[in-house]
A and B are shown apart, each in its own frame.
Chain A
Amino acid sequence: MQTIVAYVENKPGVLNRVASLTRRLAINIDSLTVGPTENEEIARMTICAHTDEKGAQRLEASLEKLVDVLLAENISGRSMLERDLALIKVAADQQNRPHLMELIKVFRGRVVDVAPESLIVEVSGTVDKIDGLLEVLRPFGVLEMARTGRIAMTRGNDLLRPPEARSGGKAETAPASS
Chain B
Amino acid sequence: MKLTGAEILCETLTRLGVQHIFGYPGGAILPVYDALGKSKLHHILVRHEQGATHMADGYARASGGVGVAMATSGPGATNMVTGIATAMLDSSPLVCITGQVSSKLLGSDAFQEVDITGITMPITKYNVVVSRAEDIARTVREAFIIANSGRPGPVLVDITKDAQQASTEFDWDACGPQLPPKRVRNNHDQVEFDRAVELLNAAKRPVILAGRGVILSRAMRTFEQFVRTSNIPVAMTLLGIGCFPATDPMNLGMMGMHGEAWVNTAIQEADLLIAVGMRFDDRVTGDLRTYARSARKIHIEVDRAEINKNVVVDAAIVGDAGETLALLLPHIQTSDHSAWLAHIKELKGGSAVRDIQSLPDSGHLYAAHVINDLWKVTNGGAIVVTDVGQHQMWEAQYYHHNEPHTLVTSGGLGTMGFALPAAIGTKFARPDREVWAVVGDGGFQMTMSELATIVQEKLNIKIAIINNGYLGMVRQWQEFFYDKRYVATPLIAPDFVALANAFGIRGERVTSRKEVVPTIKAARSSDHAVLIDFRVEQEDSVYPMVPAGAPLHEMIRRPNNPLVETASEP
Contact = CB atoms under 8 A, between A and B. Distances in A.
B179 A169 contact: yes
B430 A173 contact: no
B184 interface: yes
Interface stretch (B99-107, B141-149, B347-355, B507-515): B141-149
B304 interface: yes
B460 to A, nearest CB: 14
B144 A163 contact: no
Contact of A67 (B122, B151, B180): B180
Given A61-B307, A64-B304, A168-B176, A175 B183 contact: no
A15 to B, nearest CB: 12
A172 B16 contact: yes
Contacts of A164: 181
B177 to A, nearest CB: 4
Bin the interface of chain A by size: 20 to 34
Interface in A65-121: 65, 67-68, 70-71
A135 B142 CA distance: 52
B363 to A, nearest CB: 42
A178 B428 contact: yes
Contacts of A170: 145, 149
B181 A163 contact: yes
A17 interface: yes
A62 B305 contact: yes
Given A65-B303, A178-B430, A70 B65 contact: no
Contacts of B125: 67
B178 interface: yes
Contacts of B429: 176, 178
Contacts of A172: 16, 141, 144-145, 177
Residue from the set B17, B149, B182, B430 with the largest chain A CB neighbour count within 10 Å = B182
Interface string B60-101: 100111111000000000000000000000000000000000
A157 interface: no
B19 A163 contact: no
B109 interface: no
Contact of A24 (B122, B178, B182, B304): B122
A165 interface: yes
Nearest to A14: B180
B309 A58 contact: yes
A13 B121 CA distance: 10
B432 interface: yes
Given A68-B180, A163-B184, A170-B145, A176 B64 contact: yes
A155 interface: no
Given A172-B141, A172-B144, A175-B17, A165 B181 contact: yes
Contacts of A173: 65-66, 144-145, 148-149
A13 B118 CA distance: 9
Interface residues of B, number: 45
Contacts, number: 104
B18 interface: yes
B181 A167 contact: yes
Contacts of A68: 180
A175 B182 contact: no
B305 A175 contact: no
A7 B49 CA distance: 37
A56 to B, nearest CB: 12
A174 B304 contact: no
A4 to B, nearest CB: 14
Nearest to B151: A65
A20 interface: yes
Nearest to B304: A61
Contacts of A16: 118, 121
Contacts of B178: 166, 168
A122 interface: no
Given A61-B305, A67-B126, A166-B181, A175 B66 contact: yes
Given A61-B304, A67-B126, A166-B180, A174 B309 contact: no
Contacts of A177: 17, 19, 63, 65
A70 B183 contact: yes
Contact of B183 (A9, A24, A54, A64): A64
A57 interface: yes
B431 interface: yes
B121 to A, nearest CB: 5
Contacts of B308: 54, 57-58
B121 A163 contact: no
Interface string B109-142: 0000000011001100110000000000000011
Given A169-B145, A169-B149, A173-B148, A178 B177 contact: no
A64 B18 CA distance: 29
A70 B305 contact: no
A168 B125 CA distance: 17
A10 B122 CA distance: 20
A163 B182 contact: yes
Contacts of B177: 168-169, 172
A158 to B, nearest CB: 16
A67 to B, nearest CB: 5
Contacts of B307: 61
A13 to B, nearest CB: 8
Contact of B305 (A65, A162, A165): A65
Contact of B121 (A20, A167, A169): A20
Nearest to B307: A61
Contacts of B432: 178
16 contacts: A9-B180, A24-B122, A57-B308, A61-B305, A67-B146, A67-B180, A70-B181, A70-B183, A167-B179, A169-B142, A169-B145, A173-B145, A173-B148, A174-B65, A175-B60, A175-B66
The 4 closest A-B CB pairs, nearest first, are A174-B17, A175-B65, A176-B65, A61-B305
Interface of A: 9, 13, 16-17, 20-21, 24, 54, 57-58, 61-62, 64-65, 67-68, 70-71, 162-170, 172-178
Given A20-B122, A67-B180, A163-B183, 17 more contacts: A16-B121, A17-B121, A57-B308, A61-B303, A62-B305, A67-B179, A70-B181, A165-B181, A167-B181, A169-B142, A170-B145, A170-B149, A172-B16, A173-B149, A175-B16, A175-B19, A178-B19
